[in-house]
Structures are given as C-alpha cells and as structure tokens.
C-alpha cells in the first residue's frame, strides 16, 4: 500500500514534515512518495496525514489511482457545480 503525489502538487511543503514514515521527499517538478516507505500512516494515524493536510484537491492518489481529496472535498463545492 502506498500513496502517490501527482503533477498538480505545488511543492508547498505541507506534507513532508508530517509523514511518520519519512516517505515524502522533494523532487522536481513536484514532491514524491517512496512506495517502499509509505504505510499510509497505518499504525500512526487513522488517516494519511499527507492527504489530510494537502491544500490541492486531487494531488494525492491512493493505490487504486483515486484522489484522496477529490475535487470539491476541500472547497465544499460539488464536482458537478465546478463543471457548470
């Protein structure tokens, strides 16, 4: 199990210091998660801390490729209203 940071990451540094596994590292063009270290915070926190703090909707994906904080989850605006 491992999460993935994708290109919508803006390198804000919010997630890196919160990772208990030290799996998040600075890279170009955006931060990355070492899949060999990522535990999704299992045993440390109920929810993955990187996804909890990330200010960019859709920037962190789970192992199925689904956004941990999908569009609308931070703004409270449902996805269908964003498209309108």
pLDDT tens by residue, 17-76:
999 999 999 999 999 999 999 999 999 999 999 999 999 999 999 999 999 988 888 777
Q: Cβ distance 15 to 50 under 8 Å?
A: yes
Question: What domain range is 27 assigned to?
Answer: 1-83
Residue 77 confidence (pLDDT) above 90 = no
| pTM of the complete model | 0.84
In this structure, what is the dihedral angle of CA atoms 52, 53, 58, 64, given to the nearest 10 degrees?
-40
| pLDDT at residue number 12 | 95
Residue 81 confidence (pLDDT) above 90 = no
User: How many folded domains does the chain comprise?
Assistant: 1
CATH of the domain at 63: 3.30.70.20
CA–CA gap between residue 84 and residue 66 (Å, rounded): 22
């Amino acid at each position: 199990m491992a999460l993935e940071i994708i290109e919508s990451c803006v390198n804000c540094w919010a997630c890196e210091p919160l990772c208990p596994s030290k799996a998040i590292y600075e890279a170009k063009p955006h931060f990355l998660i070492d899949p060999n270290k990522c535990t999704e915070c299992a045993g440390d926190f109920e929810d993955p801390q990187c996804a909890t703090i990330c200010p960019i909707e859709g920037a962190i994906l789970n192992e199925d490729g689904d956004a941990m904080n999908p569009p609308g989850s931070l703004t409270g605006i449902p996805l269908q209203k964003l498209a309108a």
